[in-house]
Structures are given as C-alpha cells and as structure tokens.
Amino acid sequence: MKLKEKVEFLINELETIYPKLDIPLNHKDPYTLLIAVLLSAQSTDKKVNEITPLLFKKADNPYDMIKLSVDQIRNIIKPVGLSPAKSKGIWGLSKILIEKHEGEVPNNLEDLEYLPAVGHKTASVVISQAFGIPAFPVDTHIHRLMYRWGLSNGKNVVQTERDAKRIFPKDKWNGLHLRIIYYGREFSPARGWDINNDIITKTIGRKSIINKLI
C-alpha cells in the first residue's frame, strides 16, 4: 500500500470510528484548558478531571489563581503527581498572563512556550483545541502508532511531529491528533495489545511488527 493510500485509509477509518470528538479534559475556556493540560503530564485525564473542579472552584482565572499560595495550589493538585513543579508553574504562568497578556492566554506557540511548565506539546494542544489553529501535538500514543504504522521512524517525538505534519493534510491535524490518541488507547495500546482488534495496524502497519503478533 502506497503512502497516499495509507493516509486515506487511516483518515477514513478514524473518522468512521470517531465521527464526533470531545476534548477529554474538562474546561470552559483557554485558561482552564491550559491548566488541565499542564496537570495531565504523567497523569490520566480521569484523575485530572477529578481534581480540576476543586482547583477551579477556588480559582478559574489567573487573577484568582495568584491569590492562592503555591502551597495551597500544591495541596489541591497533589493527587495528579509532580505537584511541586506543577503548582509553581501554575502560579508563575498566571502571574505572567496578568503582567504580559492582560490575563488572557496567548494564541501562539512562542508566547505559550515561554510560560513556566508549558512545553511544546502543551502549547500545541492549547492552540489547536482552544483556538482552532492547526497543530499536531504528539503524545506517547501518537509516537507509538506512527511507528507501528510505518509513518515515522520513531526516533523521537520531534521527528514524529515533523513526519505527521508532512504526511497529513493541515486541515485534518486538530481532529486527527485526537482520533489517533483515542484509537491508541482503545485498540492499539502499549501493553495487552491484540493485533486482531487493531484493524488499522493490521492493514497498514509494519510487517516486521505484525508478523511477530500473528
């Protein structure tokens, strides 16, 4: 199967399986999405969605957030893990948003990546899902599947993102990145993987991987 055929099959299959998309992290605006995505690092969406209502009840905007101390924030978010760094990041980025952006979340990668505790992936998620700007955030699921599907060499997430942006149509990036994540979680996980349930990998995946599993 040629690359163009692989891409067409992949997009059609994913849009059939997931015709409607919901952002898995509960939020109401760009600021609360930014905080939720930051908290999701090395945690689960489920755990983050349990914690954010508690945090946002006290502060759902940067002005209220800096009224809390870093320790107060840390005590609330502790269950999601990495709370010392995340609490400092949340307080610090809230202060910068007030000082440099009139309390608003910027809609460009450069300004977002400047914020404490906000890396390229987090910034990409925010501009794509909060502002609708095309981006292709790569998490572990996408990195794994791009390699399994023979669409990237799997060296690192930077290369995987570059390959994804080169291969897929730009107008599909925002939805496709979510659909690949959902598919990876449901049908093509890192552990307990059953190739017979994974129609996409079975159809377009690397032969070297498939032959080991069938």
SS3 content of the chain, % helix, strand, coil (to 5): 65, 0, 35
Q: What is the distance between the alpha carbons of residues 140 and 155, in angstroms, rounded to a whole number?
A: 12
Q: Which helix (H) or strand (E) is 46 found in, with range?
A: helix 45-58
Given 6, 121, 163, 198, which residue is catalytic? 121
Residue-wise over 9-29: b if at least 16 C-beta within 10 A, else e? ebbebbeeebeeeeebbbbee
CA distances in angstroms from 143 to 79, 110, 154, listed in the order given: 26, 23, 7
- Other CB atoms within a 10 A radius of the CB of residue 153 amount to 11
Q: What is the distance between the alpha carbons of residues 200 and 203, in angstroms, rounded to a whole number?
A: 5
- Asked if residues 72 and 20 have their Cβ atoms less than 8 Å apart, the reply is no
Given 45, 47, 88, 139, which residue is catalytic? 139
- Asked if residues 179 and 137 have their Cβ atoms less than 8 Å apart, the reply is no
Catalytic residue check, 139: yes
Catalytic residue check, 111: no
**Which residues are tagged catalytic?**
121, 139
